Copies of this chain bind each other. A is one copy, B any other.
């Protein structure tokens, strides 16, 4: 039988990253293309103990239907934790537990975007989010990135010249894919520009706890007095991505619509996983755990950077400064064709993601590629970069 697909999905393509993933899963390939936490980063023993306790003490609560808004103790703890530790969330804000940060992005888009509405995003930006925006027929407008974050002059003119902008999507810390962190000055400017224009800021912060150099910069959400910022948090990079738990902190009216959409999408997030996140945060030494993760990624980043200085710099391949997160963003010298380069890397069994995958405008060309340093071993990092330098 012939199926007549909806307009919104007719031109949707699977994420280029997930296609490249297929290679990255083969052990003979060096997986610079993934975005996976390091295998040694998982607190598997603690999770095992906590999980056994939950199933022993309250099996029905862990296995039964639960509420769409999320597990109440986790919601209440997170609200307080985020407010006390980071100044995130205040009067007029609600907190919703989602099935990973990706679901927050999806629900915000479902609740705000009509076909043809504009979504502003950093250029480049995270492909998973871009594809979610596209799936609701948003028109994506990319704002170029400087070394200290999004170009605010361009943001200002785009905000002035366009109607129907529904929100500005930003990953201010160790951005995926560029690794760039937005400066405190720019955060202030972005907040002023967007709130003055009545445009919501969707602040996605999956990597904020993974800073291994320099000082934390307060979230844009800490400046929010107007109810103009939806903050997105995630347990994927700090506890486990496989259990799919994230959260949204933002304006009550928007959270309310997202709850209704989530009822229809998956009823609620796996309740057992929510209980595990709650107990892990409250019963284990969560801060020591984060410190251990930062140590793991600092080491990996240093191995990568040493190899890049040795093998890539002499060939004219440069990279953006990064002080945390999981990614380095490399720029090829002029005249080198990026697709050709990435293809050759694949032939040498090294998987990197072509920069074009991260372009809000799918026809834009890119001379960059993304290198993930959390998944490969130290040896793979050195060997892989050596190969990339030799192409």
Binding site for B on A (CB under 8 A): 1-9, 12-15, 18, 21, 34-37, 39, 42, 44, 47-48, 51-52, 55-56, 59-68, 99-100, 102-103, 105-106, 110-114, 117, 128, 131-132, 134-136, 166, 195, 198, 200, 226-228, 236, 240-244, 251, 253-254, 257, 259-261, 263-273
- Whether the pair B1, A195 counts as a contact (CB closer than 8 A) is yes
Q: Which residues of B contact A36 (CB under 8 A)?
A: 64-65
Nearest-neighbour CB distance to chain B for A36, whole angstroms, equals 5
- Whether the pair B260, A244 counts as a contact (CB closer than 8 A) is no
Q: Report copies per complex.
A: 2
For this complex, 29 residue pairs linking A to B, each with C-beta atoms less than 8 Å apart, are: A1-B198, A1-B200, A7-B114, A12-B260, A12-B261, A15-B263, A18-B68, A42-B59, A42-B63, A44-B60, A48-B52, A51-B52, A52-B52, A63-B242, A64-B240, A64-B241, A65-B242, A99-B266, A100-B266, A103-B265, A128-B263, A134-B264, A135-B264, A243-B271, A243-B272, A244-B266, A244-B267, A265-B265, A270-B270
Given contacts A64-B242, A68-B18, A135-B261, contact A3 B267 (CB under 8 A): no
Question: Which of A62, A66, A136 has the most CB atoms of chain B within a 10 A radius of its CB?
Answer: A62
Q: Which residues of B contact A65 (CB under 8 A)?
A: 34-36, 236, 241-242
- Whether the pair B63, A47 counts as a contact (CB closer than 8 A) is yes
Question: Which of A5, A100, A132, A242 has the most CB atoms of chain B within a 10 A radius of its CB?
Answer: A242
- Whether the pair B135, A110 counts as a contact (CB closer than 8 A) is yes
CA–CA, A273 and B274, complex, Å? 13
- Whether the pair B112, A5 counts as a contact (CB closer than 8 A) is yes
- Whether the pair B102, A9 counts as a contact (CB closer than 8 A) is no
- Whether the pair B3, A251 counts as a contact (CB closer than 8 A) is yes
Given contacts A12-B261, A63-B242, A99-B99, contact A47 B55 (CB under 8 A): yes
- Whether the pair B113, A6 counts as a contact (CB closer than 8 A) is yes
Q: Which residues of B contact A99 (CB under 8 A)?
A: 99, 244, 266, 270
Q: Which residues of B contact A269 (CB under 8 A)?
A: 244
- Whether the pair A263, B48 counts as a contact (CB closer than 8 A) is no
Q: Which residues of B contact A200 (CB under 8 A)?
A: 1, 3
Nearest-neighbour CB distance to chain B for A121, whole angstroms, equals 14
Nearest-neighbour CB distance to chain B for A267, whole angstroms, equals 5
CA–CA, A113 and B4, complex, Å? 9
The one of B48, B59, B111 that contacts A5, using a Cβ cutoff of 8 Å: B111
Given contacts A1-B251, A114-B7, A198-B1, contact A100 B267 (CB under 8 A): yes
Q: Which residues of B contact A39 (CB under 8 A)?
A: 60, 64
Q: Which residues of B contact A266 (CB under 8 A)?
A: 99-100, 102-103, 106, 244, 266
- Whether the pair A112, B3 counts as a contact (CB closer than 8 A) is yes
Q: Which residues of B contact A253 (CB under 8 A)?
A: 3
CA–CA, A242 and B257, complex, Å? 22
- Whether the pair A44, B59 counts as a contact (CB closer than 8 A) is yes
Q: Which residues of B contact A63 (CB under 8 A)?
A: 42, 44, 47, 240-243
CA–CA, A71 and B55, complex, Å? 23
